[in-house]
């Protein structure tokens, strides 16, 4: 199923080719980044987004810098710019650091090899997340109804997806019947990207506004909420797209399992809890304009936090390629650490 | 303060003149409805919306029919069409019935007199709601931060507003410092209408996406949630704009007062509880298109419930012009009934 979706990120003859997520769902086009500056711009303008995809993008960015320069100091400077292009997803800095270490050992070829490995590992991790995730899908006659927020799919990763990986594996196994897709304002990753993926994958799904989740839950129309993550703290607190926290509170109120799916590279054991996670505040125009059209009065102020933090106490399970951490996450999550 | 906002609905030489809410906030224009068909179209396309405003619109619609026809049966048929133009707001059918009864007694002049009285009574009721609402605003040094959803303001009424009436009175009294305005997808009544009103009234306010409410509450940035209502059942359950229920659950989780402000005409003692309230499902295009631009893939399905039902147990108080009903609402609300 992966194969007929175009690769979200790949190396092409000296440039980083991205499936341009700004143009979806209306057109499938690619942007070729030939410099680190072009790649940083693609990252900040969300041509590529999603924590695992940002890990691969950061790593390929170091390879790009290394191929364009013989100076170690300029590669280090480029790495620093890449790592700070967006603050919340831990994978970005992690991918940059891993590729930079390979560059230090083996030069440009080393950096590219590390980036290719990160991308390949990510696809394999996501497929494992899908398999592991089968254990968190409630048994429902005819299949479960799953609600997801933002896009933690093929497009947010090097391929297959994390939260959507669980949905895909569940659908393939006959365990998921239908998906509610939160549109995910302001950038509409649900309406634009998750809808595009699920449509391409022929998984039955329906778009709703973000604020409809509560009444769907009250009506018994949601059996599971599954989302991705941008950073998971050591105690199991999760930073993810704005609105995730509200869904977790609603899921608890309705006694519906609330599950986070993410590769181990999103777990940041150096961050003790959610209070230590920097939440990116983005341009207010993302709120006051939709598709280039202004919706609010001129001069009206907007606040645009891109993420929120969901405390571990509201999370039923975190599904990784290394296994499933269940409550209490503060003990089960670090236990999955590679030895 | 009312005076410099144009009247949302009024009778003008044989037609019903509406401030066209479809064009806000970008242009202030009016639509003159000369027939019941034009008015029904204005109601279904949301040129006029908001439960109390729909009460006045329905009443003026009967006057329009009565002025255009000498046949009682055609006035009754027009009244039936008006009353069923939208199903959830009880005020619409109530305004139609009251104007029709006056028509039966006194003909076209009676219907117009009843409509004028409904509009004048509504403004007076909203001003009383504002005064009564002062008692539900938490005492906060420097003034409270209030979050509101959709538009329950001047534009949703014959003037002044219900939820925004409470905010206006609170701001005038120095008790409200700042308002968080939920954008209120899909129709963006918050971003377009509430923002326009609060801007015109110079009340400090900030627009956020609907799904940001949870993290604002977690950060201690919300002292009170106040919303309007489309129908209030006898036990205190409230139908209001989609997303209201989710806010009520979040407010309970954070121990923040959740208050509904509405005129007595929105209370429907004939409806025992929320399960009996018909929730309008609107065109999926409202979700899949924003400002005429398609946001979702072509052919992707959307579900668009316009309202949800918040159970009385999640509501701290209902503020009416007849007084404030507090928990348990099932006892306090019917006690406010006119004798």
Chain B residue nearest residue A193, CA to CA: B296
**Residue A131 backbone dihedrals phi, psi, to 5 degrees:** -65, -45
User: How large is the average pLDDT for residues A258-262?
Assistant: 98
Beta-strand relationship, A307-310 and A238-241? antiparallel
pLDDT band at B69 (very low <50, low <70, confident <90, very high): confident
The answer to whether the Cβ–Cβ distance between B208 and A183 falls below 8 Å is no
Q: What are phi and psi of A73, to 5 degrees?
A: -70, -35
Report how far residue A50's alpha carbon sits from residue A92's, in angstroms, rounded to the nearest whole number: 10
Partner residue opposite A214 with nearest CB, options B191, B249, B301: B249
Asked if A9-129 and A138-336 have one fold, the answer is no
pLDDT class for A69, splitting at 50, 70, 90? Answer: confident
Burial status of residue B307 (CB atoms within 10 A of its CB: 0-12, 13-18, 19 or more): buried
* Rounded percentage of chain A residues whose pLDDT exceeds 70: 99
Query: A195–B304: do the CB atoms touch at under 8 Å?
Result: no
A25 prior amide bond cis, ω within 30: yes
User: What is the pLDDT at residue B1?
Assistant: 40
Question: What single-letter DSSP state applies at residue A321?
Answer: T
Q: What is the ipTM of this complex?
A: 0.95
CB A109 within 8 A of CB A124: no
3-state SS, residue B240: strand
- Closest-CA distance of chain A to residue B29, Å: 15
Average pLDDT of chain B, as a whole number: 96
CA–CA dist A235, B63 (Å, integer): 65
pLDDT(B52) > 70:
yes
Q: Are A229 and A258 in contact (CB under 8 A)?
A: no
Q: Which of B261, B267, B269, B243 is nearest to B317 (CA)?
A: B261
pLDDT surpassing 80 at residue B2 = no
For residue A322, what are its two tokens? 């290394």
Q: Are B302 and A207 inside 8 Å of each other by CB?
A: yes
> What is the predicted pLDDT for the residue at A1?
39
Distance CA A79, CA A40 (A): 10
pLDDT digits 0-9 by tens, A124-139: 999 999 999 999 999 9
Secondary structure letter of residue B166 according to DSSP? H
- Give pLDDT, residue B171: 98
Tens-digit pLDDT profile for residues B126-180 = 999 999 999 999 999 999 999 999 999 999 999 999 999 999 999 999 999 999 9
| Set of chain B residues whose Cβ sits within 8 Å of the Cβ of A250 | 246, 249-250
CA distance linking residue A247 with residue A227, whole number of Å: 10
Chain B's closest residue to A308, CA to CA, is: B215
Q: How far is A179 from chain B (nearest CA, A)?
A: 11
Q: In what order do the strands lie in the sheet with B238-241?
A: B267-268, B231-233, B238-241, B307-310
- Give the residue numbers of B marked as catalytic: 230
Does pLDDT of B255 surpass 90? yes
Element of type H or E holding B195: helix B195-200
Helix residue ranges, H only, B211-317: 213-218, 244-253, 285-288
Do the Cβ atoms of A305 and B211 come closer than 8 Å? Answer: no
Four-way CATH pick for B9-129: 1.20.120.420, 3.40.50.1580, 3.30.1490.70, 3.40.50.720? 1.20.120.420
Q: What is the mean pLDDT of residues B81-107?
A: 96
B182 chain-A contacts, CB cut-off 8 A: 211
Query: B238: which residues sit within 8 A by CB, 6+ positions away?
Result: B229, B231, B232, B244, B260, B274, B309, B310, B312, B315, B318
Give the pLDDT score at A185: 98
Of B215, B253, B300, the CB nearest to A195: B300
The partner residue sitting opposite B195, judged by closest CB among A250, A253, A297, is: A297
pLDDT at residue B32 above 70? yes
For chain A, how many residues are written?
Answer: 339
Q: Which listed residue (A121, A210, A230, A308) is catalytic?
A: A230
Angle at A321 between CA A316 and CA A323, to 5 degrees: 50
Interface test with B, best of A193, A292, A296, A313 (most B CBs within 10 A): A296
Residue B114 contacts residue B101 (beta carbons within 8 Å): yes
List Cβ neighbours of A254 (8 Å cut-off, separation of 6 or more). Answer: A217, A218, A222
Closest CA to B153 of B54, B231, B50, B55: B50
Taking only the tens place, the pLDDT of each residue in B267-318 is: 999 999 999 999 999 999 999 999 888 999 999 999 999 999 999 999 999 9
Whole-Å CA distances, A78 to A9, A94, A132, B181:
19, 15, 37, 40
Question: Are A263 and A52 a contacting pair, CB within 8 Å?
Answer: yes
Q: Decide the pairing of beta strands B205-208 and B176-182.
A: parallel
Q: What is the pLDDT of residue B144?
A: 98
Separation CA B77–CA B74 (nearest Å): 5
Rounded CA-CA distance A229/A164 in Å is 12
**What's the average model confidence in pLDDT over B57-73?**
95
Q: How far is B272 from chain A (nearest CA, A)?
A: 19
Q: Which residues contact B41 (CB under 8 A, 6 or more apart)?
A: none
Kindly indicate the confidence band of residue A226, based on its pLDDT and cuts at 50, 70 and 90: very high
Q: Which two tokens stand for residue B163?
A: 């939820």
Residues of B in contact with A252 (CB under 8 A): 253
What counts of helices (H) and strands (E) characterise chain B? 11, 16
pLDDT of residue A4: 77
Give the pLDDT band (50/70/90) at residue A260: very high
Kindly tell me if the per-residue pLDDT of A298 is higher than 50.
yes
Residue A330, pLDDT score: 96
Residue ranges per domain, chain A?
Answer: 9-129, 138-336
First to last CA, chain A: 33
User: Is residue B227 predicted with pLDDT exceeding 50?
Assistant: yes
Rounded to whole angstroms, the Cα distance separating A290 from A188 reads: 9
What is the Cα–Cα distance from A1 to A153, expressed in whole angstroms? 13
Q: Is B169 in contact with B133 (CB distance < 8 Å)?
A: yes
Q: If DSSP codes are grouped into helix, strand and coil, which group holds residue B23?
A: coil
Check CB contact under 8 Å for A290 and B292: no
- Other Cβ atoms within 10 Å of B202 Cβ, number: 9
Cβ separation B303–A249 shorter than 8 A: no
Give the distance from residue A303's alpha carbon to the nearest chain B alpha carbon, in angstroms.
6
Whether the predicted pLDDT of B3 surpasses 70: no
Q: What is the mean pLDDT of residues A215-238?
A: 98
For chains A and B, what is the number of CB pairs under 8 angstroms? 182
Determine the Cα–Cα distance for residues B108 and B11; give it in Å rounded to an integer: 13
SS3 B330: helix
Residue A2 has pLDDT above 50, yes or no: no
Residue A74 to residue A296: CA distance in whole angstroms: 43
Q: What's the gap in Å between the CA of B206 and the closest CA on chain A?
A: 5
Give domain A138-336's CATH superfamily: Translation initiation factor eif-2b; domain 2 (3.40.50.10470)
Nearest alpha carbon to residue B8 among B158, B212, B204: B158
Over residues A31-42, mean pLDDT:
98
What separation in angstroms does the CA of A10 have from each of A7, A48, A99, B105?
7, 12, 15, 78
B293·A288 Cβ contact <8 A: no
pLDDT > 90: percent of chain A: 96
**Spatial separation of the C-alpha atoms in residues B182 and A258, rounded to whole Å:** 25
Q: What radius of gyration do chain B's Cα atoms show?
A: 19
Which secondary-structure segment (H or E) carries A207? strand A205-208
**Mean per-residue pLDDT for A179-192?**
98
């Amino acid at each position: 199923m992966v194969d007929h979706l175009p690769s979200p990120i790949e190396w092409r003859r000296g440039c980083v080719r991205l499936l341009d997520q700004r143009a979806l769902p209306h057109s499938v086009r690619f942007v070729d980044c030939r410099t680190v500056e072009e790649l940083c711009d693609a990252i900040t303008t969300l041509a590529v987004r999603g924590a695992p995809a940002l890990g691969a993008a950061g790593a390929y960015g170091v390879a790009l810098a290394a191929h364009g320069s013989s100076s170690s100091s300029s590669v280090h400077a480029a790495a620093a710019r890449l790592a700070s292009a967006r603050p919340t997803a831990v994978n970005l800095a992690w991918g940059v650091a891993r590729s930079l270490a390979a560059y230090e050992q083996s030069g440009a070829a080393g950096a590219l090899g590390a980036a290719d490995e990160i991308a390949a590992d990510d696809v394999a991790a996501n497929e494992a997340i899908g398999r592991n995730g089968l254990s968190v899908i409630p048994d429902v006659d005819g299949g479960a109804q799953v609600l997801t927020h933002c896009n933690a799919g093929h497009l947010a990763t090097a391929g297959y997806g994390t939260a959507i990986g669980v949905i895909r594996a569940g659908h393939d196994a006959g365990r998921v019947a239908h998906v509610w897709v939160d549109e995910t304002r302001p950038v509409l990753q649900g309406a634009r990207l998750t809808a595009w993926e699920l449509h391409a994958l022929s998984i039955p799904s329906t778009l709703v506004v973000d604020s409809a989740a509560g009444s769907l839950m009250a009506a018994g129309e949601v059996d599971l909420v599954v989302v991705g993550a941008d950073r998971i703290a050591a105690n199991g607190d999760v930073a993810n797209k704005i609105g995730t926290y509200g869904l977790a509170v609603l899921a608890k109120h309705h006694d519906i399992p609330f599950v986070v799916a993410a590769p181990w590279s999103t777990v940041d054991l150096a961050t003790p809890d959610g209070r230590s996670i920097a939440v990116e505040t983005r341009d207010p125009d993302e709120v006051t304009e939709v598709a280039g059209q202004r919706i609010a009065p001129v001069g009206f102020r907007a606040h645009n936090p891109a993420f929120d933090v969901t405390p571990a106490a509201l999370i039923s399970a975190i599904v990784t390629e290394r296994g499933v951490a269940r409550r209490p996450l503060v003990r089960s999550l670090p236990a999955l650490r590679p030895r």
